[in-house]
Every structure is written in structure tokens, then in C-alpha cells.
Structure 1
């Protein structure tokens, strides 16, 4: 018998019986769940189809999207400022940013919404004037703090607290050597921040910010306590009149899933766009672990 040639060695993947069994179990449970949803008469799928594109539901859907966009834009804008303040050399700036983050991360969004809506009980009037001097402009708090403005304040300020920490971590992840190199080129600190640091930090913070956007989409359902006609409140108004609770909740659930799916694909597209032209990074240990494909050799001996 001659010695086997290396070209005659055929790699054969190791069979993973545990994974195959687990996959079969998951598929069976998924099919059972789908069958239960399709055949359960209590869901009343014809009613769900009837209200999917009802004007009141679509109006609430638009309000949900508007709240999400405004809360994220305002929250991220404030978050950038807070992150820069946290990294400042000034103790006053650091303390002020820390206090904001501590407070708005510690108070639940629902409590904030109710608090902002009832701000008139604490301050009947809102004014702008000279400190310790006369008031130049005065507004009635009830006229300024509407359900919509209370919702924006509660959601945006909460997002700002979380976004500040994510952006701060992204800024700190940028190599200090690049900051030093930009200084040698004569760039000011603000130019370095805008042209060097923030664009690179953006690649790092996009995944958590995308996750935060999806969370914000779901947080908007809390504004129903303010009687603001978002998607959930619109569905509640319909089933309060028709007593078709489950079908209307299914309508809201389907729309939330559709919006979440769209945001997920948008996040992946932005990540892919930002990663173009950058050097490939090393895969994480977990990804390498689950991508491992052990092989066993099948030797073919020639006579």
C-alpha cells in the first residue's frame, strides 16, 4: 500500500446532531405557532384586515412615526452636546452633563410624560427675562405644554441621556494618535472633533443608536396615557367603541412589527454604507466560535 497523497485527502464536515435536533424542534414549534395563529377564530382575521388601513389607524401610525423621528433628532442633538461636556476639562460641564444623565436615565419615561404634562401644577407660567430682574416674556404653561410637546420632552430628554453615553464611548474609542496628528496639521480642537473624531465615532455608535431608535418606536406607545392619538391610542379608541379588542391589538402589533423591520433594514444598510472603504476588522470571538467548521479527514489510499 502506497503512502497517501495530500491531494487525495477530502475534508468532510463533522455532523452536528445536537444542532440538527434543535433545529427540527424549533421548526416544529414555529409551525404549530403559525397554525394556531391562522386557525384561532378569536383573532378574527377579517376584522384585522378591515382595520389595517383604516383612516384612524393610519393617522395614529403617522403620529407614531413623527414622535419617533422628532424624539431621536432632538435627543441625539442634545446627546452630542452632553457627550462633549462629559469629556470636557471643566468640572462644571462634567457635573452638569453627569447630573442630566443621572436624572433622565433614572426616571422612567412614563413618569416623565405624566410629569411634563402636569408641569402647570408646579409652574403656572413660563417666562424669559433678566436673571433676578424683570420678566420680558410670559406664557401660560397649559398653552405651551400640550400632550404633543409633553411627549416630545419626555421621550427626547430620555434619549439624550442614553445617547450621550453611547456617543462618549464612541469618541473615546477613536485613537488618540489621530487627534495628535490633526493637531500637528494645525487643526483646532473643534475642527478635529468635527472632521476626525465624530465621523469615526459614528461608525461605532450606529448599531446602538439603531437599537435605540427601535426602542424609541416602542416607547411612543406610552403617550397613550396623555390621550395623544398615536398608533396604540387610535386602536384603543376603535375597540372601545366596537369591543373588538384582540383584532385591533393585532392591527397595532402588525404595524409595529412592520416599522421595526423597516428600521432594522435601514440600520444594516447604514452600517454597510459606513463600513465601505474601511479596513476589515477582526471578527469577535463569539462570531469565530459559531462560524467554526471542524473537519475530519477522509483518506483515500491508492493501491
Structure 2
């Protein structure tokens, strides 16, 4: 709120309680379209957060005055508190492979791990221990106490072998943290790497490749897994989300939901389910074959009995004719 108070005082010579709808609408519209900029000349990227602050303050102002018998008009009810969609660095799988090819083994493991898991970096990332891996490094448990939302156990479909080799090469013990890194220096390395390999052009998500950070891999991981999961609930579980708004954002941004095909679903993450269905179908086929064989035997047996009865009855009928 102090920043907003200073801005309103500077622009309109008014304190917060003297504002009306016209001033608020003009100010926050300017923040969103870029005509009102920060002191460093850059555009605001979280206008929705400032709107929420203003709404919270004004509701408190209304409530305080109501206790005194003074009714204050709600001038914030029409303000849009939705979040602006942030720019970030979008990478294709091939571009990620180009980056890892130019990295040392530590950063190769880190990049593939970030892309595969979509783990929050640095908060969840720096808390991963060797003991958090299961099933021969094919699964990762993100502990409850390390997660922003909830603990979860996910499958490693891309980086399993690389991480296993990385842990073995560094001779890590079960309680060792596998990425004991400094986030700032790691992000500086990624920026230099991306600039050298991919240049400074804008990526499809609006941010320059040379601005790459660890958190961009979480965005890219979601874009990769989105068309490969059958349900939103499964995808939300993998990424530790409680709401679906992030999924809808990525779908809208890249137009991915309309491109999902049956072939997209036939990847490792669904192989187990597909194999189970095939095994079930195979068992049903075997059962039907057994039933058919039994039926054929019964028919053959009935045929033999019929023939036996026919041969037994026929001589008696011939005797009766004489």
C-alpha cells in the first residue's frame, strides 16, 4: 500500500481515502497497458496484486467507518483483480537437448531433472535428497515439509538414468542433497548458456532466451506433460497444484488442447495401463479359447454317443421288420 499511496499522491495530489472510481480505473488501466511504468522504466507485471491490495484497504476503510455510523461507497467493486500473464522462456525438447549438450554433467542432470519433474525451483529442488528416490531412480518423493502445497510421489520418465549416473558419479550418500546449489549463480549460468546456444531472440512465451532461469523449466515441463496426461487431476498432482487455472493458462498460450491425438497418449507414462489392458484382453482370449475347446469336446462326445446309440438301435429295428 505505501507504493500506491505515493503514486496517487504524486499523480493526483490525493490521499487514498479521497479517491473515486474514475481515478482508480484510470490508474490500474494504465498499469496494465504499460502507460504507467515503474521507476526503473519497466512495465508492471502484477497489476492484479496491486488491485487486491487496494480492494483490501478499501474494504477495511468501509468497515471502519461503518462502525462509526458512516457509510462509504465501494469504489473498488468493478476493478479487475485478475493476474497478468507473465512472460517466460519457452523451449522445445530439441532446444533443451542443445542446452544439455553444451553443459557439464552437473548442469545436464539439473536441466533434465527440472524439465522432467517440473519441480519448484529453488524451494523444492534444493531439498531433494538421494533417499527421496525410489524404484531404482524411476520415482521421486517430494516431501510434504519441502513443498509449497503438498507432498507427492511422481514418476521420472525422462531423467531417471541421468540422475542415477549423476548420484553414482558424485558418490552421494542417502541423506545428501543432490543439488546443493546457489540459485542466483545457477540462474546466471543458465542465462549465459542460453545466450550462447540459443541467442537473444524472443521465445514463443514472450521472454528472451538469454533470460532463462530455473523456474522456466517448470513452465516448459507443464507444456510437455499437458497433452500426455489423461486428466487434469493427475497433472495437478504431479506439479503440486490445487487449482486448474495454471493448466488452462498453458493450454491457451500454446493452443495445445486442440492438438492432442491418441498417438500422443502412447508414451511411457501410460504404458503400464496399456499393458494391463492388453494382458486382460489376452486372458479373455485364452478363456474364450478354453471355452471353445471344451465346447468342441462336448460336441464330439455327443456325436460319439449319438453314433453309438444309432448303431445300437438300428439292429433292433431291422429285427422288427422280419
Q: TM-score range by the shorter chain?
A: under 0.3
Structure with greater Cα Rg: 2
TM-score of the aligned structures, taking structure 1 as reference length = 0.20
Higher relative contact order (CA 8 A, sep 6+): 1
